[in-house]
Chain A
Amino acid sequence: MLTQRAPAQQATVKPIDVNQVDSFLAFRSDNTVVIYTSKVDVGTGLRIAMRQMVAEELDVPVDRISLVEGDTSTTPDQGGTGGSTGITRGGVEIRQAAATARQALLKLGAEQLNRAAADLTIANGQVRPANGGSGIELGKLVGGRLLSLKVDAKAPLKDPTRYALVGRPLPRPDVPGKCSGQHAYVQDLRLPGMLHGRVIRPPAIGARLQSVDETSIRGIPNVRVVRIENFLGVVAPDEWAAVRAARELKATWSPWEGLPGNDGLERTVREGPLDRDQELVKHGDPSTPLPPGAKQFSANYQWPFQSHASLAPSCAIADVRADATTVWTATQGTHGLRSSLSKIFSIPEEKLRVIYMDGSGSYGGNGNDDVAADAVLLSRAVNQPVRVQWMRHDEHGWDPKGPAQFLDLKGAIDGEGRIHSWETQMWLPASLPGARPFLGVDGAGLTQPHGQGAGQISQNGDPPYAASNVRVLVHWMKQSPLRISNLRAPGKIANAFAVESFVDEFASAARVDPVEYRLRGLSDPRAIEVVKRAADMFGWQSRPSPNPRSGQGSIAVGRGCAYVKYKQAENYIAMAMEVAVDRSSGNVSVRRVTCAHDCGLVINADSLRNQIEGSIIQTLSRALHEEVKFDRSRVSSTDWASYPILRFPEVPAIEVALIDRPTLPPLGAGEASTAPVAGALANAIFDATGVRLRAAPFTSQRVRAALVRS
């Protein structure tokens, strides 16, 4: 089994500049090929997809290709992992490097075989005459040397009609190890002389450390307390000793109250200081007078702060030495992390190496960066390698969150039900320049930027359907009470929830079936195809909502749909869903979900399906259950009981149709199918009960309360 670690020896210095083929690909004398990328797998299957793309261009067997991910010393900086760019940017760049290499290999082969390059081909890792005859293995041809070649943007790519590998559902190389305990996670790394560290975070976010009583842990062997201003940690050779010491160490902190609490959040958002207003979309004029027979609508939608809620609390190992520092981490942004740590700790970048190892799924920026800084602080303080493993309350409590979102929508339809006017107003935290501050660095009183950003959170706030007179206005807020980061499909889940719910209201008022209503407003054939496919798979019966036959008893049955064009420019996704709502308990049971997905060229159909199924289930969890709870001082939902996620008994039957377009570029698909989930769900709940839910999560208490009110 080929591992993802960097090879121990390099015959020549390997470049990392993104313009060089040798930065991305190495041809070993044992006939294997190594891919180097800064894009990391995090469970998406990127590491098989990239192998397929390279194997296809080079005609080298997939199992002779290994992958090095996220090592700042050896992998070129293609950007961090996120924004659905793994294949679209990372894979496509490397594919072009492979195509460039192919031409060079044919030329090298031509010299060796004394034939014209045009007469040669590559098959099964060998350059040989196209008409048959013996060839030469790539390992012998290149044998560990550098090609010293710039990536040629014009190097021809293989014709998609001849694809032998791309598109096929090849199995992922890491799955067997994950099923046998042999796969190496960052949590499993052990180094000689390594200490285990734990950080003690304050009971209130802005609290200052007043006193520490080390005698309180005198019964625990070999523990050293590290205090740097307000940063408090413990290290010990024994992990359990560190866990108990962190739990039992007596420390006093100053009181602090600076959060609005869940109840005060909306007021803080609507009345707090603004950075600026931005008109994102304007066509026509929403204040155009209404035609006769028009109907007007207005509704406010809310999405709460949510946690990445990674199954594994974040973990990092740092080995800070005078001559070099190495950090092992599961961060999705190794190069960005190195850059930040380099500046904060005054370590020159060439002396700081950040190496990615798998953690659990992260879905954006979770606690992984913060724990890396914690590990550096502790290792630096004790002059030994330190492994910091966050506890559950650290991860739930302190990971940067998906932001809370508020949307006010107003609109009108004409006498025929067509969208006449639409206005979305959103309140979102502004992106402020600079990296997000590390918790430990602030605690230790070191200087660092205090940037703020959660990704492209303002997208998809306008309807993807024909509409005259559309305006989207964002009120960018200066502050966010909780630290934020890019949580999967940033902003777009809430925005699409509001848009698809609002459109559904129009359809219902116009007494038109919701699928039919959407089709009337679409002209793009790719959009129409996914909507029809999702509806057909569902067995969608055409009728307006709500369901006239939802059931008289305690269980109300309904169905809903939603359509999103991701970022208004990328994947086309449509979804239909059937729910059963228990009127007395308010419990929403999702029975089945259909999804049609078009992301251009499909690289690996199986891992793509895995991502789509995962996106649907994860987002159902977010829409039904998840809300970060916080009071005036801190996040209080710090375990799985207080921050519940979806469990097995709730899992619906899911059917996914993939539409493959081999002549188009491949789009990323790690997050797009999260976007229609909440809208389809809310619409299904409306169909079942006649009640509109506009504030996520749709907990059974909220559903019950809404049913009682109606």
Chain B
Amino acid sequence: MPQYNLQVNGRAVSVESWDPSQPLLYVLRNSLALNGPKFGCGLSQCGACTVLIDGKAARSCVTPVSQAVGHKITTLEGLGTSEKPDPVQAAFIAEQAAQCGYCTNGMIMAAKSLLNETPKPTLEQVKQALAGNLCRCGTHTRILAAVLRAAKA
């Protein structure tokens, strides 16, 4: 079975896939036990699967594993843990910016990508940057507050 050498959360890993078009999402979750990225639609419509590829938000549900080779992949787990959260995670925790939490991965990763490019975004810029991330519980107000809080940190 073909092997793919990936760089995930700062470590070199090798995964098998019978299909080069297998989305990275399934590989991360099933081969590497990284459950941060979530299956929400598989259609690149909701953002629950968001990871960083070379520091930029990418939808792992439509990124073939073969295309992820040679790039730096970061998942939510790569940012920090609940005991040692990174500044964006810490901001989300401080604002209690989650209800069911299923969208939270996508929100944090998209926020991280935004802040990598725009360290001090306006509220409007945050709203636009997260426009492609869906939240069904309606936690939007707190998510916006968390991103702005992280930007100040």
Residues of A that sit less than 8 Å from B by CB: 1, 42-45, 171-172, 174-185, 187-188, 190, 221, 238-241, 243-244, 309-313, 358-361, 363, 389, 391-392, 606-607, 610-611, 613-618, 621, 639-641, 645-649, 651, 654
Contact = CB atoms under 8 A, between A and B. Distances in A.
Given A179-B98, A640-B134, A617 B92 contact: no
Contacts of A311: 40, 46, 48, 100, 102-103, 134-137
B130 A614 contact: no
A172 B141 contact: no
B137 A614 contact: yes
B45 A641 contact: yes
A581 B97 CA distance: 30
A188 B36 CA distance: 9
A221 B43 contact: no
B143 to A, nearest CB: 8
Contacts of B100: 42-43, 311, 358-361
B96 A645 contact: no
A172 B104 CA distance: 15
Interface string B59-83: 0000000000000000111011110
B6 interface: no
Given A44-B99, A180-B80, A311-B100, 14 more contacts: A43-B137, A171-B93, A174-B101, A175-B92, A175-B98, A187-B39, A190-B33, A238-B30, A244-B19, A312-B38, A640-B134, A646-B140, A648-B130, A651-B144
A43 B35 contact: no
B48 A1 contact: no
Nearest to A618: B138
B80 A360 contact: no
Given A360-B100, A607-B96, A649-B128, A613 B138 contact: yes
A3 to B, nearest CB: 12
Contacts of A176: 82, 85, 89, 93
A656 B75 CA distance: 35
A621 B135 CA distance: 11
B139 to A, nearest CB: 6
Given A313-B39, A640-B46, A651-B140, A179 B131 contact: no
Contacts of B113: none
B136 A645 contact: yes
28 contacts: A43-B101, A175-B96, A176-B82, A176-B85, A179-B82, A179-B104, A181-B75, A181-B76, A181-B77, A182-B82, A184-B35, A185-B35, A187-B39, A190-B30, A240-B17, A241-B18, A241-B19, A311-B103, A360-B136, A606-B96, A607-B96, A610-B96, A613-B142, A617-B140, A618-B137, A648-B131, A649-B131, A651-B141
Nearest to A619: B138
Contact of B102 (A175, A360, A389): A360
A174 B136 CA distance: 18
A239 B141 CA distance: 35
Interface residues of B, number: 60
| 8 shortest interchain CB distances as A-B pairs | A181-B36, A178-B101, A617-B138, A43-B100, A176-B82, A614-B138, A360-B102, A43-B99
B120 interface: no
Contacts of A45: 99
A310 B135 CA distance: 9
Contact of B93 (A175, A389, A611, A654): A175
Given A176-B85, A221-B18, A244-B19, A312 B139 contact: no
Contacts of A181: 34-36, 75-77, 105
Given A179-B82, A181-B105, A649-B128, A187 B92 contact: no
A174 to B, nearest CB: 7
A171 B75 CA distance: 25
A392 B42 contact: yes
Nearest to A310: B136
B103 A180 contact: no
Contacts of A171: 93, 96
A616 B138 CA distance: 8
Contacts of A175: 92-93, 96-98, 101
B7 interface: no
A309 B136 CA distance: 7
A367 to B, nearest CB: 14
B107 to A, nearest CB: 9
Given A392-B42, A640-B45, A654-B141, A240 B23 contact: yes
A187 B102 CA distance: 10
B98 to A, nearest CB: 5
B108 interface: yes
A392 B77 CA distance: 25
B51 to A, nearest CB: 11
A176 B108 CA distance: 12
B43 A392 contact: yes
A645 B39 CA distance: 18
B136 A648 contact: no
Contact of B35 (A188, A361, A606, A611): A188
B136 A361 contact: yes
A673 to B, nearest CB: 11
B79 to A, nearest CB: 8
Contact of B131 (A43, A177, A647): A647
B108 A179 contact: yes
Contacts of A645: 134, 136
A179 to B, nearest CB: 5
A244 B21 CA distance: 11
